[in-house]
Structure 1
């Protein structure tokens, strides 16, 4: 550390008033992704920093351990800020109390990610320069921004694009804090850090939510980093970057899960020799990764149980299947991918691993109407395909999406590409099914059709009664006794018992087979209008869902909610209403907790004593005369 620093070690920028009282919503998004989100973001960042011209693997060392609280640089500054925080709703109050509860520890857990054969950050001595070439300033002080390579080919192959992944490390800390140690090409060593709190009052002044572990120049206008002379946990003396996260959340402190998350997302990178990862004393390399993937201590080896985690299948498919070409169009150009495809009747769920050229898996893609087919596949493209796939990734790099694309023409092309991907994959799957299940001959269906037709005529005659002739006109005589439907018991016999009272939720029926055949993890129900109360007050909308009379929701503590516009004739228009275009915020009415919007779905809505209550901020474009039908997923 420099011999003379200005003020406390952590700096918060002053503001005139408190305007935002919630924690950064992206924190919760990455927190919900747990270890997978943390390892994915930091591993991708390390691979993006590969030395130019270096052909060997990037090495990432992940360590977990304990450190004395007093050895954490500037910890007293952060503690003082946390103790000054004031929650203005139950969610922020709960979060602040959780932070306060963690401050009494003398020794805390941490995790670190240290990379080698990488460039590290440049321009640290320039501090907050706002130069595109000084990656230290971009990484340390700019939120929502990522450095762009001057070489377009290298930029295309990089994993990052949205600039929000840096906060994944903050989400892994009970105090929302992280440090980064850097050693650049000149051997200069510096330490920085960030902490994500809420806007707050401290010593009579108001401050922003984000704090920076940084020095500042004498006129208090520009940040500069500290030279790194701190404790060994924070040291980085070889070129590259090291992330240190103290106060590690208990949910993240699991070596097996860390190893699995690396295998899940980067098995191609490791198999191709682009990445080696050391997790404490375990080494993941191209020579050893299969021993982890085939180890029952890490993965279930029963193929018939591969319903959520598909990594063992992906690795086997990638290593043992010859690639074929898969051409997918977005309506204007064709993209050509290498497809590694395997058909196996024992596989219960069919998925396609969509992989970037750096070897990072983006998504377990579900092919429309083929989610339960017995196949497994890995899809990788070239540089053009990689560039396009990158443009379709969501912020957390876990799914192909079109909703974040603002340009209407590009959004339309993205939709068409994703639909065509399903269509082209369906052709491959159908061909494999036919090849492995050949027909034995032609079946004569004449007798079957005759029986069905005769039975239909008899049933029709019984229900309509006799026909009389009246002056040359046919008249249907009403039957004096209309046959009533009787409920059959399990043995097929009729019984006189009444039908049970109808549940106010019913399973959604759709013309799109995808929703019926997709993952069994969640079931979608349409909500009876009687269970929904909706009120619009100026620029806010309040919605109450009462599930207390629904057996289908009994015992559930959260659900996902989506909606569709409905007209006066009862016709639904599921793609006509975009939540993010119409609502500025969606939160819990009681706690104020903000809910994430993903793929036009309100995620993880709390159900308290059978009731969910939402408060939605309306944007100027919102049409208050629209009517909706709501769908509940549990």
Structure 2
């Protein structure tokens, strides 16, 4: 039951008896880690899902960034008051709350908005919290982990959303975890709602849940039962939506999201097929990204490097050329139960340093830059697109942020087995195309006579053996190689190794090993680092590492290291070593191998880049990490670890 005293409040929080969950929603951190890309993908995907079925016009999304006076933000003073009363119970929540509270006195703040047209908008706003599947306002505004399902099965299959949590991507982009949505439906009715993601908290002697809703409320049955209803939209111009469709407004925009160039790149990276097929058009402030103009952005060196040798992380310029110029070929991928048929647009070019496949849904959204097993460094580029059956299956494999094919979605062992087989066979079928291209571009003309080569190799091998090993003569002049060497070599060796009686061997003394050994950072690390840090190599005895299913757990015990006694946090860097102990710097990229890295000391998701995990907390000198593995992670890799403070 909501307390009667909240009737006059613009924001509604549901009361609880006791505070049980002391953390922020972890999905906030996952989307925050994805940055601009996660925000843009989620909101544009939602707009594509809402396309008017009978319209042949593309979905138009207008993205605007600007500044707004805080007094013009609906109900903002109530949100501020709640945040002032938040209390953290661990390092992460304390740090997050402190950051939120530091923003409360600002008089004007940055915002970003996403407004779509040629879309249905949300339906049933006047019915409020109805519980009906037909009223999409109630689902979008008040339900978590639920997404509206189209009655038309074909439309439902082609839609991008499925997990029902993407709405929180907008909250993650705000310093206050705050977002609003304005709607205009088919009847021209205009309403506004919003959510704020806090933690369970105490306010005015009562405890409340973490999510607040910008909504009106109706009390029934003697104030024991309530129902949410949206407000009529009579607020500031930034929040106005007077054409059919939906508008998302995110005030207190985080600095890392306020980047017009990165917004445009994210649109091109994720939706180039939808734009080229005239299903989508996006305006970012004064920039218009359409079928006619998208190449101007992708081929612009100010946005993307045009050098093939630099195409190691960003592949959109290659995808564009491949999709527009290559003739598609058919490939079939089986998942044990069923065959799936795809069009593969494929290019082979020796200048390409990394081979990737853009996996595209029929809505025109890229899921991921797929690494073909065993072919990640082959010189190719490809775009893969299926039909409705393929779309439905790919949709079941997507992770919650729609950025990767994963088997983790399945609890049923048989479905998981089918997913594993599908991903494996996808690599297998594309490998056939790659191998065919390699043979075509590296054909051998004629035959090579190897007799002379083998003879020279045999003679040289005999010489090398005789120079290093002695021989034994036997009958008929034949000889056998013996390991002790010839007599002269043996004499020299004995004389050299003879110990003089005057020189006695000194007793060996055991040197105490330093737990951490100082090592100068390499030049590249020095250039890229934000501040000068000391770098130490960690002795293997300090590291405990185990892999369990799709997770890797690592524990570093630095408690005996005097270098870290005064440190509360550090960076951890990884470097690959081979079976001979040779180290390969900068060959291992964390983001290519791990989905998420969690600091077990704090419960906080770690920021990581290239080979380095940032700002890991030391608790009594101990670091504990949980790393969620990507599907393509090589479990046999061995590492040397460095700590930077």
TM-score bin, normalised by smaller chain: 0.7 to 0.9
1:596 offset after TM fit, Å?
Answer: 9.9
**Against the structure 1 CA distance between its residues 347 and 592, is the aligned structure 2 distance closer, same or farther, given a 3 Å change threshold?**
closer
- Measure, in 1, the Cα distance between the counterparts of 2:421 and 2:515: 38
**Against the structure 1 CA distance between its residues 417 and 461, is the aligned structure 2 distance closer, same or farther, given a 3 Å change threshold?**
farther
1:168 offset after TM fit, Å?
Answer: 0.4
Q: Tell me the residue number matched to 1:283.
A: 288
1:224 offset after TM fit, Å?
Answer: 1.3
Q: Give the TM-score, by structure 1 length.
A: 0.79
SS across alignment from 1:162: coil
Q: Tell me the residue number matched to 1:119.
A: 120
> 1:468, 1:476 within 8 Å by CA — same for their partners in 2?
no
Please point out which of 386, 402, 405 is paired with 2:407: 402
Tell me whether 1:28 sits opposite 2:29 in the alignment.
yes
Q: Tell me the residue number matched to 1:273.
A: 278
**Against the structure 1 CA distance between its residues 442 and 531, is the aligned structure 2 distance closer, same or farther, given a 3 Å change threshold?**
farther
167-176 or 430-439, which deviates more:
430-439
Q: How does 1:82-101 map to 2 (within 5 A)?
A: 82-101=83-102
Flag the structure with larger Rg: 2
SS across alignment from 1:237: coil
**Against the structure 1 CA distance between its residues 415 and 534, is the aligned structure 2 distance closer, same or farther, given a 3 Å change threshold?**
closer
- Measure, in 1, the Cα distance between the counterparts of 2:172 and 2:309: 35
Q: How does 1:190-589 map to 2 (within 5 A)?
A: 190-218=191-219, 219=223, 221-453=226-458, 530-532=541-543, 543-546=555-558, 557-558=571-572, 587-589=599-601
List per-residue Cα deviations over 1:353-391 (Å, max 9, x = no partner): 110000000111111222122211111111111111111
SS across alignment from 1:70: helix
Give the superposed CA RMSD.
Answer: 3.7
- Measure, in 2, the Cα distance between the counterparts of 1:632 and 1:222: 58
Count of matched residue positions in the alignment of Structure 1 and Structure 2: 546
Q: How does 1:28-177 map to 2 (within 5 A)?
A: 28-177=29-178
**Against the structure 1 CA distance between its residues 80 and 273, is the aligned structure 2 distance closer, same or farther, given a 3 Å change threshold?**
same
SS across alignment from 1:221: strand
1:126 offset after TM fit, Å?
Answer: 1.4
Q: Tell me the residue number matched to 1:182.
A: 183
SS across alignment from 1:144: coil
1:303 offset after TM fit, Å?
Answer: 2.3
List per-residue Cα deviations over 1:118-177 (Å, max 9, x = no partner): 111111111112221111111111111111111111110000011111110001000001
1:595 offset after TM fit, Å?
Answer: 5.7
SS across alignment from 2:295: helix
1:231 offset after TM fit, Å?
Answer: 0.7
1:437 offset after TM fit, Å?
Answer: 2.1
**Against the structure 1 CA distance between its residues 460 and 47, is the aligned structure 2 distance closer, same or farther, given a 3 Å change threshold?**
same
Unaligned runs of 5+ in 1: 485-500, 506-525, 536-540, 563-579, 618-627
**Against the structure 1 CA distance between its residues 549 and 401, is the aligned structure 2 distance closer, same or farther, given a 3 Å change threshold?**
farther
**Against the structure 1 CA distance between its residues 462 and 24, is the aligned structure 2 distance closer, same or farther, given a 3 Å change threshold?**
farther
SS across alignment from 2:148: coil
326-335 or 308-317, which deviates more:
326-335
102-111 or 287-296, which deviates more:
287-296
**Against the structure 1 CA distance between its residues 227 and 631, is the aligned structure 2 distance closer, same or farther, given a 3 Å change threshold?**
farther
List per-residue Cα deviations over 1:3-42 (Å, max 9, x = no partner): x992311111111111111111111111111111000000
> 1:170, 1:177 within 8 Å by CA — same for their partners in 2?
yes
- Measure, in 2, the Cα distance between the counterparts of 1:586 and 1:353: 28
- Measure, in 2, the Cα distance between the counterparts of 1:45 and 1:355: 16
**Against the structure 1 CA distance between its residues 150 and 604, is the aligned structure 2 distance closer, same or farther, given a 3 Å change threshold?**
farther
106-115 or 291-300, which deviates more:
291-300
- Measure, in 1, the Cα distance between the counterparts of 2:473 and 2:127: 100
SS across alignment from 2:604: coil
**Against the structure 1 CA distance between its residues 351 and 612, is the aligned structure 2 distance closer, same or farther, given a 3 Å change threshold?**
farther
SS across alignment from 2:104: helix
> 1:559, 1:607 within 8 Å by CA — same for their partners in 2?
no
1:294 offset after TM fit, Å?
Answer: 1.3
1:464 offset after TM fit, Å?
Answer: 7.0
List per-residue Cα deviations over 1:57-103 (Å, max 9, x = no partner): 01100000010001100101110111011111121111111111111
List per-residue Cα deviations over 1:284-333 (Å, max 9, x = no partner): 11111111111122111222211111111111111111111121111222
**Against the structure 1 CA distance between its residues 131 and 475, is the aligned structure 2 distance closer, same or farther, given a 3 Å change threshold?**
same
- Measure, in 2, the Cα distance between the counterparts of 1:20 and 1:5: 23
- Measure, in 2, the Cα distance between the counterparts of 1:270 and 1:629: 40
- Measure, in 2, the Cα distance between the counterparts of 1:237 and 1:410: 45
SS across alignment from 1:132: coil
1:346 offset after TM fit, Å?
Answer: 1.7
SS across alignment from 2:102: helix
Q: Give the TM-score, by structure 2 length.
A: 0.77
- Measure, in 2, the Cα distance between the counterparts of 1:502 and 1:345: 47
> 1:132, 1:147 within 8 Å by CA — same for their partners in 2?
yes
